[in-house]
Each structure stands twice: as structure tokens, then as C-alpha cells.
Amino acid sequence: MIAQPLTTNLIGHESVIGEGDSFQAYAPAQGDLLPDEFTNVTAEQADIAVQKAQAAFAPYQKLSPQQRADFLDAIAAEIENLGDALIERAVLESGLPTGRIAGERGRTTGQLRLFANLLREGSWVDARINPALPDRQPLPRPDLRRMLVPLGPVVVFGASNFPLAFSVAGGDTASALAAGCPVVCKAHPSHPGTSSMVGSAIATAAQKTGMPDGVFSLLHADNEVAQRLVAHPAIKAVGFTGSRRGGLALLRVAQERPEPIPVYAEMSAVNPLIVLPGSIAEDPTKVAAGLAASVTLGVGQFCTNPGLVFMLDGGESLTNAFLETVAEKIRATAPATMLNAGIQQAYQKGVQQIRVLPGVHLLAEAETDADESRTEGRPTVLTTTAPLFMSNTDLSHEIFGPSSLVVICQTEAELADCIDSLEGQLTATLYATPDELQQSAYDWIGRLQEKAGRVLFGGFPTGVEVCEAMTHGGPFPATSDSRTTSVGTAAILRWVRPVSYQSFPDALLPPALQNGNPLGIWRNVDGVLTKD
């Protein structure tokens, strides 16, 4: 029996039933629809949400940093107040294990509090002050003061693979709200119930802390309405995590507007891992076991999943020991439920398309067949040679799921050609000894730096620390703007622009630029960092 439609859309402080099509959530581990019924908003309802966001912008950006920080802290507290019900719903809708979702909830609330602390510290506004020099010759200098200010209302698209940390209250929303930008969030259809619960937590926090109506809206919407949100003249930027096709579609809409706007889209990466012989000479099995674990972590549904391995052949015994350990670990890893049927089918198709190519060989796959009724993906690792990899660009494309392709390179020149042929990546990992790097004729670190936003020396890329120094971005098509990050405190810089104030009376300046420094933040005054 289908339940009555849920009032799961939030247009500002108001909970509404969408007037568009209805749909049901899917439980991938059960292979079945859930009884709850959700409703999409119409274009007219979406317009109302944007209008509310536009009206909220002026009062919201004028709030003190402390008030916005209190709002973010309140969101984190309200998410925690949802208790086990949120965890259970997210597990049901994503097929991810309870421990993973519990950890992701902690990451979500942690990054909200991280941005709250950033606001209280305050120096992120990059205040720069050059006091007037009226007696300077040959021309006097006017008083000039510069800082970062919010862009305006933004649209955030929830991601499929992180129902909490990259979705309704995820990094995009947290950083945009911290910057002073109202957010209209488009929920991902793979986890509508989870999205609705988190959206309600944000709405509760907004009302408890006295935020203006329209500072946040949550909408279930089809693709047509989603694109209309991006095209709305009041929207000033977009945050997106998903497929290359989806990201490029939004980018086109944003660029075709009378006023083009930035789209910060994280789209596609294979995150190459480079293995030089010296790094595994003592124990090739250790790195191989870690690689297999990284490839299959979360059923391979991390945007930092190492989908390509370039191995410089160090001799038959060394290479074989590495490959045999990878194969052993992959065979022992059971298939597991993927996020939804579409992702599972795309994964299955992608693996099949490359495993039948000439010169591509199956190294190993899980011994147990995948159960399609449970939307399972079967871990798979394939191998090929560098010349064959270079001859077929299909081998460099992302396959979203628990698979990887190992490319055996006979010479450093082959390895360099393979790396140079790659598109932009989120990460690139280098296994090598310092001696190998110093003695090589190739600048491996420089090559990888050109290709990725995060370069690792050892380890595996599937852990993304939320902190000040993290870059989660990279050259196209990893992201649409390689100068930015979607993880860490620097993510706030996507939602702001610089403004200079010239010859203003002190009382009319923003507090961050006033002579007395009432916020007590670090500022650049004539080239010197000071709190004076």
C-alpha cells in the first residue's frame, strides 16, 4: 500500500507538497521500491524558492559572523538530534552499511562546525587595508580597503554516493551558508527520505537561530526544473557532484544565461596510482593488498577510487607477486550492493566493454557472482600493456564501481607517455623511493602535479580529510574549475568575490575593514599582517 504524499519539499520555512510528478524511493539492497511517495516541485514552485532566497540574501549577508556560525552549529546539532532514524533511512536508501553512514554523519556535522569556527576566526575574508597617503608625490593615494563578500543565492545539487556529507547539508551547503549565500538544494532522487530529514533539520535550525525565511530551501525536482534553477537570474553560482554528462549539462545552461555564472562541478576521475619497482621491492604484497582494499572500499563508489594503476615492470618475480596478491584479495572480496540500479547497470556495462577488448586480460574477479536482485557490483581487476593502453582511449575512462585496470609499462618512457595522455584527475598517487625519483630522467612529481589536485606519496586516495589544507578538485574533467576545492575550509572561496571600498567614512565600512578592527581578525595593512 502506497503512503500518502509526504510534504518533503521546503520552500524557505514552509513545508509543501510538490505539484509535479510523484515518485518512490528505492532500496537497492532489497531491490524494491519503498512505500513512501515523494512529489517533485513544478517550475513555478522552484521560482518561489529562488525568490525567497533572493529576498533573504540582503539580511543574511549582513548578519555577524557569530550569528552565521551559530546557525551552522545549530544545523549540526539538529542533524544529531535525528538520531538512529536518520542512519536507518540512509542505509535503506543507499545500501551502504550502518558504520559507513554513521561515520559520514560525523563528517557532515564536523564540517559544519569547522566552517563555524572559520567564521569566528574571521581572517578568511582576506581584509586588505591601504590607508590614504594624502601627501604622497607626485599623486596622493586614496584610502583603499578590500575584502571578500558573498555572491548571492546559490543552487546545490546533492550527490548520489554520499547521502549526507556531499548532499543536503554537505560541504557545498555548509561552505555556501558560511560565506553568506542562501542555498536552494536540489535533493538527489536516490535518497529522498534522507534528504527530507536533513532538510527539516536545517529548517529547524534556521528558525531556532532567527535566520531569514528563504535562507535554505530543499526541492525534489526533475531535470527540467533543475536546469531552470540554474538559469534563474537570481542564482549566482552552482555546486554539483556527479557524472560528467550531468555536470556539463549544467555548465552549458549557466554559460548560456545573459549573465553567465560559475558552476563548481566535480565530475569524473580515475585517480591513477603509479608504482615504481623500488617502492615494493621489499614487500610487493603490502601495497597490492592495500590497492585491492582501496578499489573495493564502499563498493568502489568513491570519487577518489583508484581506477588506473601504472606499474613499471621490475622483473617477473616482483610484478607477479604484486599481481597475484591483488588477484587473491579481489577474488576474496564479495560483491556488494551499489547505490542504485542505474549505477549498478552502468558499472556492469563498463567492465564488460573493456574486458572484451583485444589485449585486455581479466586478472581477477570476486569468486561469488553478483546478485542483481540486490543491486550488487562484482569486484574486478583487469590488466593490459602500455602500448595497448595508449592505442585505445576507452581504457582511460572512469568506470564508477569496484574495478581497476593495471597497465604494465616496460620503460619509464612508456610510463611517462601514459601519464601525459591522461585527463585531469582529483588525485594521483606515487609509490617510489627517493633514490628512484632522484635518479630518474623524468620529473614524476611535476607530471602528476599537472594532472591532479591532490598528489599522494604512498598511501591510497580514498580517504579525504576535511581540513584547512585539503584540495578536493583538479583539472578538467575532474572538476570544472581547477582553482577550487569542494572539501576543506578553502571551499568557502567559491561563493565569494572581492570588493574594494575607496574613501569611505569609517562608520560606513564593513566591520572587517573598520579602523578599530571590532572583529579582532588578522588583516593585511600596508603589506603587514596584524590585528591592530
For the annotated catalytic residues, the residue numbers are 266, 303
Residues 484, 453 contacting (CB under 8 angstroms): no
Of 223, 166, 204, 313, whose CA–CA distance to 41 is shortest? 223
Pairing state between β 496-502 and 237-241: unpaired
Residues 120, 65 contacting (CB under 8 angstroms): yes
Residue 23, phi-psi category: left (phi > 0), alpha (psi -120 to 50), beta (remainder): beta
Residues in the chain: 532
Find the DSSP H helices in 97-179.
98-121, 171-179
37: cell is 511517495
Pairing state between β 403-409 and 425-431: unpaired
Residues 460, 441 contacting (CB under 8 angstroms): no
The H or E element spanning position 309 is strand 308-312
Q: How far apart are CA 508 and CA 444, in angstroms?
A: 52
Of 497, 503, 495, 493, whose CA–CA distance to 145 is shortest? 503
Q: How far apart are CA 292 and CA 252, in angstroms?
A: 37
Q: How far apart are CA 530 and CA 532, in angstroms?
A: 5
DSSP bridge partners of 128: 146, 524
Which residue type does 8 have? T
